[in-house]
């Protein structure tokens, strides 16, 4: 399917063929083996329904002291390298001048969601955020650069890639729900979303 624009988000449906999706999942198994998924807690003390880990120089973490990038997993070890297959997508769609510092891995199990938020813990918003969806379908909601107003929704499927850049870099976005069991890519079901970010 050809790419299209939704509120400034560049959406590339089926960017990754099924065989590439499977290769990516096996590379991600190595990431998770070195940096296990954890359940972040928001500064207000709520446990997020999405489980996370990261690869790269930095990983995104959250706890009672706030949201931030950290050079180490909460258990103390450095984050594993970003898989080469992820870097290839970044270089193809974003830039070959600079690689991302962080590849955040979100795992959505049954019932998991992510509330509307901006990605704004990075230093330079001229770099887009690249998002890669694997496994079950997820309903992405895109709002505006300020809270409130009309939103648009779109079901992201396994292999879809989104580039969030330009004026939309600071748009509110979230994942309202997933269709648990809609994909056979992950044997136990669920959705993986990767977001690649330039941090500093």
Would you tell me which residues interact with ligand AKG (CB under 6 A)?
104, 106, 114, 119, 131, 138, 140, 156, 173, 175, 193, 195
Q: Can residue 119 be called a binding residue for Mn ion (CB under 5 A)?
A: yes
Name residues whose C-beta falls within 8 Å of residue 50's C-beta, 6 or more positions apart in sequence. 40, 106, 107, 108, 112, 113, 114
- Which residue of the chain is nearest Mn ion when measured via CB? 119
- Shortest Cβ distance from residue 104 to ligand AKG (Å)? 5
CA nearest 144: which of 4, 8, 3, 10? 8
Given the complex with ligand AKG, which of 83 and 195 has the nearer CB atom? 195
Question: Taking the complex as a whole, how short is the minimal distance between the CB of residue 97 and Mn ion, in angstroms?
Answer: 23
Task: Check binding of 122 to Mn ion (CB under 5 A).
Answer: no
Per CB under 5 A, does 136 bind Mn ion?
A: no
Q: List the x/- string, 50-69, binding to Mn ion by CB under 5 A.
A: --------------------
């Amino acid at each position: 399917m050809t790419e299209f624009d939704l509120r400034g988000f560049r959406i590339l449906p089926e960017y990754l063929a099924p065989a590439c999706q499977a290769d990516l999942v096996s590379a991600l198994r190595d990431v998770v083996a070195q940096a296990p998924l954890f359940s972040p807690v928001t500064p207000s003390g709520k446990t997020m329904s999405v489980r996370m880990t990261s690869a790269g120089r930095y990983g995104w973490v959250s706890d009672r002291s706030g949201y931030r990038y950290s050079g180490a997993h909460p258990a103390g070890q450095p984050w594993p390298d970003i898989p080469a297959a992820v870097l290839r997508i970044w270089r193809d769609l974003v830039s070959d001048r600079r690689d991302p510092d962080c590849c955040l891995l979100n795992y959505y199990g049954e019932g998991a969601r992510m509330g509307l938020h901006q990605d704004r813990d990075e230093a330079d918003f001229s770099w887009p955020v690249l998002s890669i969806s694997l496994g079950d379908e997820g309903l992405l909601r895109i709002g505006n650069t300020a809270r409130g107003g009309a939103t648009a929704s779109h079901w992201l499927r396994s292999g879809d890639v989104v580039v969030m850049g330009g004026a939309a870099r600071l748009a509110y976005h979230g994942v309202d729900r997933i269709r648990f069991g809609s994909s056979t890519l992950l044997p136990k079901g669920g959705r993986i979303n990767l977001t690649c970010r330039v941090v500093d």
